[in-house]
Amino acid sequence: MSVSSANRGLKPGVCTSTTRPSNPFTGQIVFETDTGFLRVWDGSAWDYLSQSQDTNTYLNNGGLVYITQASWVTGSTVSVNNCFTSTYSAYRLVIRNAKHATTAVNLLFRLRASGSDANTNYYWSRRFIPWGGAGGGDTGGSADTKIVPGIVAHTSAPGGGTIDVIDPQKNGITSVNYQGTWTQTTGESSAGSGMLNDSVSYDGFSLVANTGNLTALQVFVYGYREA
């Protein structure tokens, strides 16, 4: 089959939403493996290449888009890099099966830029309520070194929770909302919010055991697609 001269310059490729060609030519088409979309460079931006009514309907509604995940079995600190980009303005982290080697400890949360944790200017608060008992409590930090989202890792009763990160790449205040559980029978549920008050663009995060080592934990990262 002959190929016309008009079509010989087409160079379709496979990439992700964060690894598109940095110097595309007008009309270049790529397939994003993380979103399932075909996109075309119009000379100034990557436009969606409509394929069906289902695709159009999908694009016109907001929702969560899977980005990456991480799992590990040992160590006190695990970091996920290059998961926050300009593609989305808000992200959700889903954490499950948090286990610790020897005791029950809080997971600490920090934002990262270019492979380094931010260790200052966190402001946060949290309300926690014990299961099967009256009362509860409040805790928080001002100009702290981390955020404590209330997700507890335990030796036999794994914890889990969610952390929403808003505007990590804005070069301004990054807002963080969270909720967590400690799934032991005498455990607790908690919820709160915080921020990192500086002018840095962040591309990742760390989860850190308050003391000792984790033995298991999974984290899934999603972007909030805007309608």
Q: How far apart are CA 52 and CA 213, in angstroms?
A: 49
Tens of pLDDT, residue by residue over 167-210, are: 999 989 999 999 998 766 667 889 999 999 999 999 999 999 99
CATH number of the domain within which 138 lies: 2.60.120
Tokens matching residue 224:
């909030």
Q: How far apart are CA 97 and CA 220, in angstroms?
A: 12
182, 79: one domain: yes
What residue type is 123 in one-letter code?
A: Y
- Among the ranges given (89-93, 107-111, 170-174), the one the predictor scored with the smallest mean pLDDT: 170-174
Final residue of a structural domain among 5, 29, 61: 61
Domain total of the chain: 2
pLDDT of 1 = 46
121, 98: one domain: yes
138, 155: one domain: yes
Final residue of a structural domain among 61, 76, 98: 61
Final residue of a structural domain among 45, 61, 77: 61
Residue 12, pLDDT above cutoff 70: no
Query: pLDDT averaged over the chain?
Result: 86
The average pLDDT across 204-217 equals 93
| Buried b / exposed e along 55-80 (16+ C-beta atoms within 10 A) | eeeeeeeeeebebeeeeeeeebebeb
User: Residue 114 falls within a domain, yes or no?
Assistant: yes
24, 95: one domain: no
User: Residue 4 falls within a domain, yes or no?
Assistant: no
Residue that wins the pLDDT comparison between 189 and 83: 83
53, 110: one domain: no
CATH number of the domain within which 50 lies: 2.10.10
Q: Which residue range forms the structural domain that includes residue 51?
A: 13-61
181, 170: one domain: yes
Evaluated on CA atoms 221, 109, 205, 207, the torsion sign reads negative
User: Residue 6 falls within a domain, yes or no?
Assistant: no
